[in-house]
Amino acid sequence: MRILKLNPAVRIGDIRLKHAPAMFRWMSDPVVARNIGLRQKPSLTKTEDWIRRASRDAIVRPYAISLAGKHVGNLVLDRIDRYLATARLSIYIGEKDALGVGVATTAIYLVLKKTFSAEKLHKVWLTVHEHNTPAIVTYTRFGFIVEGILRDEFRLGNRRVNALLMSMLRDEFQQIRVIQ
């Protein structure tokens, strides 16, 4: 059994156009852009277009993460496969003052609770590049299992680096106990 401490000030909600300016600012940060593998130069228009598309797409669930009412990051479930009952998870925290205070752990917990119950999914998976140690620590502490290594799967600047393929099954999630 895993025990997670959640941050009670963290909430998730639908991403809306009002979130676009913060998202654009975060994507303009080279550290955030590099860690999420951003392939194009960001713009406010592209960000707004992505929000519109993602909000209408049946295989995407975009969420805004807030800490004490302030939008601090995003979490996205995509590649939702109803037949296999699987989805890919990605998350980033854009506000520096929201790092290290349980925001990611709490947001992941809230989304997985919703996903495994309401969406009836069996498995949630993710990829993370091998140099993103804080994310790997969070996923591992949460209970995600490394399924494999995707060799040279990620471009980190001009270098190719490995990515970890990690996942969690509904049964594993149900073993988690939380404290506030």
pLDDT tens for residues 108-124?
999 999 999 988 999 99
Quick one: pLDDT at residue 53? Answer: 97
Cα–Cα distance, 32 to 47 (Å, whole number) = 15
Is the model's pTM score more than 0.85?
A: yes
Residue 35 banded pLDDT, cuts 50, 70, 90: confident
Quick one: pLDDT at residue 55? Answer: 93
28 touches 47 (CB < 8 A)? no
Across 12-40, average pLDDT = 91
Contacts of 11 (CB under 8 A, 6+ apart): 65, 66, 110
156 touches 129 (CB < 8 A)? yes
* Closest C-alpha to 173, from 102, 125, 104: 125
- CATH code for the domain in which residue 159 is found: 3.40.630.30
- Torsion of the alpha carbons at 81, 34, 72 and 179, rounded to the nearest 10: 70
Across 156-169, average pLDDT = 94
Question: How many structural domains is the chain composed of?
Answer: 1
75 touches 61 (CB < 8 A)? no
Residues 52-94: tens digit of each pLDDT: 999 999 999 999 999 999 999 999 999 999 999 999 999 999 9
Question: Starting from the edge strand earliest in sequence, which strands make up the sheet with 70-81, in order?
Answer: 10-14, 61-67, 70-81, 86-93, 123-129, 159-169, 145-156
Exposure string of 20-30, with b = 16+ CB inside 10 Å and e = fewer, is bebbbebbbee
- Residue numbers of the domain that contains 130: 2-179
Distances (CA, A) of 131 to 93, 155, 162: 17, 11, 9
More confident residue, 15 or 38: 15
Cα–Cα distance, 40 to 75 (Å, whole number) = 20
